Structure 1
Amino acid sequence: MTISAQTDPHPHSSANPPPIAPELAALDKKLGKLVVNRFTYRLLRLLGRLVRPPFDPAGVSLSYDHSGGERIAIITPDTRRGDGALILFHGGGFVFGRPEDIFPKAAMFAKTLGVPVICPAYRLAPQAPFPAALDDGHAAWHRVLARAEALGIDPVKIVIGGYSAGGGLAANLVHRIHDEGGQQPAAQLLIYPMLDDRTAQRRELDTPRHSIWSNANNRFAWPAYLGGKRDAQALPYAAAARRADLSGLPPAWVGVGSCDLFLDEVRDYARRLAEAGVAVSFEEVAGGIHAFDMDANPLASAFTLLQVDFTRHHVA
């Protein structure tokens, strides 16, 4: 297990976050007080359709697979340098978000790595609670495998990853694929993943300020995703941190900021992966808030470069 940033006995935790990095002050001011609840999630979906991150199509082509189920966006680089692929899930707490949200990131990965990046849509809670999103991700995996030859993809070189809730979805999908057997992903890329429904139940996390994704947001999103159930203990593949046996999973890159609400659960999951014998690269960014890489800043650039370097090794 490789640990960057803080290597001392963790002076900070989800309950005791450090000051936010100065480089993130503008992002914190703009989105730090985001409120996600039963009144706002629909508005966030609408805004997501109306306001999209700038996507530069130079150097890539965009196509969609509508062959069955939810749509799948495929961003293919003009210049191929590998025969692998990256499947990348968007975030949004399982209650909002679209593949288009991560098109700028997907295009960057595609151009830098020289491989296709696949961005599947998945159904959102509370209208479509678990296992809808997981089933959509699972279907997307098999649709990619079925089209691998046509897309010029070697099935043994596919990395599964995602941001926030998409990272949690990726982790759970990797668990399900592992248990089913058959073709396995080459690696997993878990970017500040949403892994543990028990975090929402920790009322001591209501007091510290967690920019962008607060525990109040978390406390709405998890029950919405779980279909109103109290916890995910009896729902296999709903919350990745609930899985007892993490052995036999593919290599993982796991990253989070030290000011992120998810710090404790992500840190613990990376530790447990390593203890189970999984090759893990763990990056903890000092002063990083949730989704701090959605804007251009020096911390984001370094964080993303580490993801690129890890993924390149598995898709080349």
Structure 2
Amino acid sequence: MQNLFLKALMLFLLVSCAATKEKDYVFKSRKHKKAYINSYNKSLQLWDVPYQEEDIQTSFGKAHVITAGPKDGPPLVLLHGMDATSTMWFPNIRALSKNHRTYAIDYLNEAGKSQSREKSLSKEETVQWYNEIFDHYKLRKLDIVGASRGGWMATLLAIQPNSKISRLVLLSPAQTFKGVDKAGKASSALLLKIFPSKKKLDKTLETFSFYPEKISPVYKTQFFLANKQAKSSSSFLQMQPFSDEDLQKITIPVLVLIGDHDVINAEESLTRAQKYLPDCKTKTLKDAGHFLSIDQSEAVNKTIVDFLK
């Protein structure tokens, strides 16, 4: 079932990317982009802390970064999940930015405010892109919290020689320790991407969240528009579980959290993390799905803050 899911996703993404001819590699039209950005701005108002938005020029395009927290606080980078953007941190940002200077980065080549000059980036280019952002802010040592696809990206950064990362927090990281656990159920996200509708949105949120009613209607709208009005990114095709050798390169402290109703990860993920990461803590949160940062935001926030201390 998992192989069938990945093959279907690969075919859809390749067809979608092949149809892209215009300079904007993400949105289907200027009208769609304007509507999405308006929705993004409304979701960002859910952040209940002061924040600043900045655009950083890099070799691969514009990186959009949202900063919050004390300017002299230790740096904490936030990497969001696929199609989620940095606005997804609205249930967590107050706790995470209380003592840390947070840097929430929108990923390139999908709905958000970052803007790429290329249709896609290789893994090596992705690492370079993030490091250019870190260098811009003069971040020598930093902690990272990565959710879902952001967890995979954070792990990719952590296995690099001379990594700047001091501590790593992975919230149900996708394709990191194993493939999709319940590919059949997770395929609702693929169907939402191919045939976007409010009904399929509800189905996807019910699959990925234990408490979909906790998701702000404002954010739901943004997430829906990301699937309806933006083209698909092929970045997911690069994401394969890391080898034993790669995982063993990560000697820094790592925290891995998953939900007990997670469709992406299961206990097998935690077992592999504990086996190959020399300094690893794991935890399964009760009554939480893949969107555990929303389902159990208080527990997630406390666990992360305690770990970062």
TM, length-normalised to structure 1: 0.60
Which residue is 1:121 aligned to? 106
Q: Mind listing any 5+ residue stretches in structure 2 that lack a counterpart? A: 3-11, 17-25, 112-117, 189-202, 210-230
Which residue is 2:215 aligned to? none
1-structure distance, mates of 2:283, 2:103 = 24
2-structure distance, mates of 1:98, 1:45 = 14
TM, length-normalised to structure 2: 0.61
CA apart distance, 1:166: 1.2
Which residue is 1:310 aligned to? 307
Which residue is 1:67 aligned to? 57
Q: Is the partner of 1:242 in helix, strand or coil?
A: coil
From the superposition, tell whether residues 78 and 100 of structure 1 become closer, same or farther in structure 2 (CA, over 3 Å). same
Contact persistence 1:48–1:101 (CA under 8 A): no
From the superposition, tell whether residues 47 and 165 of structure 1 become closer, same or farther in structure 2 (CA, over 3 Å). farther
Report 1 or 2 for greater relative contact order, CA contacts < 8 Å, sequence distance ≥ 6.
1
From the superposition, tell whether residues 200 and 190 of structure 1 become closer, same or farther in structure 2 (CA, over 3 Å). closer
Contact persistence 2:92–2:301 (CA under 8 A): no
2:253 to 251, 254, 261: 251
Contact persistence 1:72–1:118 (CA under 8 A): no
Which residue is 2:170 aligned to? 190
Q: Is the partner of 1:97 in helix, strand or coil?
A: coil
2:235 to 202, 225, 236: 225
Which residue identity does 1:141 align to in structure 2?
N
- Cα-to-partner distance string for 1:172-214 (whole Å, 9 max, x where unaligned): 2222x2xxx2243101111111125973597666799983449
What percent identity do the matched residue pairs reach?
14
Q: Is the partner of 2:173 in helix, strand or coil?
A: coil
- Cα-to-partner distance string for 1:122-148 (whole Å, 9 max, x where unaligned): 22369944526x734542234323532
CA apart distance, 1:97: 3.3
1:49 to 17, 37, 41: 37
After TM superposition, where is structure 1 displaced by more than 4 Å over at least 4 residues in a row? 41-48, 56-59, 200-210
Which residue is 1:29 aligned to? none
From the superposition, tell whether residues 193 and 58 of structure 1 become closer, same or farther in structure 2 (CA, over 3 Å). closer
Q: Is the partner of 2:135 in helix, strand or coil?
A: helix
CA apart distance, 1:107: 4.7
Contact persistence 1:200–1:222 (CA under 8 A): no
2-structure distance, mates of 1:307, 1:261 = 22
Which residue is 1:171 aligned to? 155
CA apart distance, 1:59: 5.1
| 1:91 and 2:81 matched | yes
Q: Is the partner of 2:179 in helix, strand or coil?
A: helix
1-structure distance, mates of 2:126, 2:261 = 31
Which residue identity does 1:225 align to in structure 2?
S
Q: Mind listing any 5+ residue stretches in structure 1 that lack a counterpart? A: 1-13, 15-36, 215-220, 233-237
Alignment of 1:154-165 (within 5 A): 155-156=140-141, 158-165=142-149
From the superposition, tell whether residues 305 and 184 of structure 1 become closer, same or farther in structure 2 (CA, over 3 Å). same
From the superposition, tell whether residues 140 and 280 of structure 1 become closer, same or farther in structure 2 (CA, over 3 Å). same
CA apart distance, 1:103: 5.4
Q: Is the partner of 2:283 in helix, strand or coil?
A: strand
Which residue is 2:68 aligned to? 76
From the superposition, tell whether residues 46 and 171 of structure 1 become closer, same or farther in structure 2 (CA, over 3 Å). farther
Which residue identity does 1:159 align to in structure 2?
D
Alignment of 1:267-286 (within 5 A): 267-286=267-286
Q: Is the partner of 1:70 in helix, strand or coil?
A: strand
Q: Is the partner of 2:87 in helix, strand or coil?
A: helix
* Cα RMSD (Å): 4.0
CA apart distance, 1:274: 2.5
Which residue is 2:225 aligned to? none
